[in-house]
Chains A and B, each alone.
Chain A
Amino acid sequence: MQAPVNHIVGLTSIIRERLLPIEGTVLARLNQKVSPNDVIAEANWAREHVLLDVARTLQISPDAADRIIKCKVDDHLAASTEVAAGRGLFPRSVTAPRDGKVVVVGGGQVLMEVGETKIELRAGIPGTIIEIIPNRGAVIQTAGSLVQGIWGNGRIDSGSLVNIAEKPDGVLTVNRLDVSLRGSILLACMVQDAETLKAAAELPVRGLILSSLSPSLIQLAREVRVPIMVTDGFGSLPMNSAAFKLLSTNAKRDVTLNAEVYDRYSGARPEVIIQLPISSNPPMPNATETFAPGLQVRMRRPPALGMIGSIVSLPSGLTMLPSGLRAPSAEVKLENGEIIIAPLVNLEVVG
């Protein structure tokens, strides 16, 4: 049976596509070396639209209105620019209410885009541009350590990694936060109260790597401007030993935290990337594996939720579980030496 893989790898090649949400201009060049904060593409995006009903305002037919409309598609109009003027002794006119661009003209109406803002797409990770995707973005390659998580709040930043948790089940509290941590990405494991999240965001730190997050803090975590990645689950779970070991041994290095929102269909996942110097490109990790004895796995459901173990054997057929359900299962030896039976659908390979 194919096994899903959660990447926690000490040294690997990492290739990531970075795309604008809409079409725009790509600024990066092929083979360009980029830093996480480099802008590689940009686009203009209008937040709102304004529909000017010229025919109705001037009380004329749509065809008549079309004949007197002075603007055309793609015209940029400043606020108060006259769009059409009626006739008569006291002619009425229609003007652009705000600065904007004309996107549709017809049927006696004018539709404008207004409130335009610029979207900047940053590289997100340090590396080399290996492909340009016209009008949308680029593909970046780097090499280093990779730790993937299961939840992210959609933000991205980079900074120096500080291990403030000290142990996998450490709890970050407000009194542990001080100005010396400003600009750092914190390996913090658990956060159990809103005050701590708010204080970290206000400091501000550049990111939080958590083992688990209380569901009651999810909304706040989505709102804060600091990237937050969760490695193991919801509630009060310690960080799995593989992720904690890799991250804690890389403390004080510059890391990129891309807390991308997990998307099961596209495969986008939040991740920490730690660029390392290399002489040749290391191999890419496998996207899937086949369950086999010796593979390192992580428990996705109880018992031993979040713990790392290795597959001892794969009994044939269906195995009766303590719940009474029967499913294809594996015998897994946990790090504490305990051997448990776990259904294969509750396991993911770590590597």
Chain B
Amino acid sequence: MNTIDNILDNYFEGTTLPEEESRLKEYFRGNAVLPRHEIYKPLFAAFDKEKQIAAPVFEIPAEKNRKKPFPIRKSWIAAASIAAVTLLLVTLVPFKNKTGTPSGDYTVFIHGKAITNPKKARQYADKMFMQADEIIRTSYEPVVEANAIQTEMDPGRIFDDLSREINHMQSINQ
């Protein structure tokens, strides 16, 4: 019994080492296979043949643009809303100064900064109003977004709140 017979027996027992299996495969791929081993030649040929089977092509899908249009519009709505609210506050509310004591002077807070000149405050308010108007007007879907702002802001409620605050401030000043 030569070495190939031994390796072959061990192979079918599942006890061959990787290098012995490589040798066995090389032997059966060659042209010097002994007649008594011919019966096993198709087995090793089948393994080689199966290894030729290739996968079908998988087309990698195009990477989608992760920026969704809806949140962008939402951010414009938010920006416009903030601008509009700031405008209303700046225009309508004569705030108290930082010490909380009533003051005879005209004082408004814009971005945390006290402005006492009514003309400058008005100019700033007008500028803000123009910007807010421009944002709403040039938005992708102006009418839809303006309606959305209207719905989200509930202008009636905001106006009532502001009126109450103005009346309260006036009563303190008097």
Q: Do A and B bind each other?
A: no
